[in-house]
Amino acid sequence: WHYDASDRITHRTVNGDPAEQWQYDGHGWLTDISHLSEGHRVAVHYGYDDKGRLTGECQTVENPDTGELLWQHETKHAYNEQGLANRVTPDSLPPVEWLTYGSGYLAGMKLGGTPLVEYTRDRLHRETVRSFGSMAGSNAAYELTSTYTPAGQLQSQHLNSLVYDRDYGWSDNGDLVRISGPRQTREYGYSATGRL
């Protein structure tokens, strides 16, 4: 393992031969990682915006003798006004988008224009309903509903299919003492010191 004056890893050798290389830009941000695999140079190149956020990564495979590009795949990253990641766009594929609200609470995800999952939250931002499958939202194939105790512990999770229904029981000390479902119930006990 070899490092530069800033104590960043620059390359690794195996039995004296080059194995991997790391390169950085003037800000110290990682820009390239590469290695040789079956005689081909394989690399991942990273791009950043002026705030240091990842904006793109490009994977490449090159002929080490000629430098000819044999394969590449690029993924782009985007951010909302708050600086939170909200979109990833892989080559030749629709973008994956995170739908958020407030200070970044996840409200849903989409693939292209198709909703994958949507979340409904209570005023404490706890998940109360998760809609997913087929087309999320009002046409969702599945809906997972969660409820909470007055102390904020998970009380139940019910899927609109009897395969996954869970009720949770808690002690006065806040310890989980029971998980029950349609097929089994698990009981938990604790020592005087609070160990399971």
Q: Is residue 160 a part of any domain in this protein?
A: yes
- Distance, in Å, from the CA atom of 137 to the CA atom of 122, rounded to the nearest integer, reads 17
**Is residue 137 very low, low, confident or very high in pLDDT (cuts 50, 70, 90)?**
low
Q: Are 107 and 184 found together in one domain?
A: yes
Q: Are 65 and 98 found together in one domain?
A: no
Q: Are 51 and 115 found together in one domain?
A: no
Q: Are 106 and 72 found together in one domain?
A: no
What average pLDDT does this structure show over 168-186? 94
In this structure, the chain runs to a length of 196
Q: Which of 20, 43, 76 is the last residue of a domain?
A: 76
Q: What is the pLDDT of residue 140?
A: 66
Q: Are 45 and 71 found together in one domain?
A: yes
Which residue carries 């960043």 as its tokens? Answer: 8
Q: Are 66 and 131 found together in one domain?
A: no
- Domain carrying residue 14: 1-76
Q: Which of 46, 76, 106 is the last residue of a domain?
A: 76
What average pLDDT does this structure show over 152-180? 92
Q: Which of 23, 44, 76 is the last residue of a domain?
A: 76
pLDDT digits 0-9 by tens, 123-134 = 999 999 999 876
Number of domains in the chain: 2
For residue 77, is pLDDT > 90? yes
Q: Are 110 and 182 found together in one domain?
A: yes
**Is residue 39 very low, low, confident or very high in pLDDT (cuts 50, 70, 90)?**
confident
Q: Is residue 115 a part of any domain in this protein?
A: yes
Average pLDDT over the chain, rounded to whole?
92
Q: Are 42 and 106 found together in one domain?
A: no
**Is residue 141 very low, low, confident or very high in pLDDT (cuts 50, 70, 90)?**
confident
Distances (CA, A) of 57 to 53, 72, 148: 12, 10, 41
Q: Is residue 147 a part of any domain in this protein?
A: yes
* Percent of the chain clearing pLDDT 70 (strictly above): 96
For residue 122, is pLDDT > 80? yes
Q: What is the pLDDT of residue 139?
A: 65
Q: Are 63 and 20 found together in one domain?
A: yes
- In terms of pLDDT, which residue wins out, 45 or 165? 45
Q: Is residue 103 a part of any domain in this protein?
A: yes
Q: Is residue 83 a part of any domain in this protein?
A: no
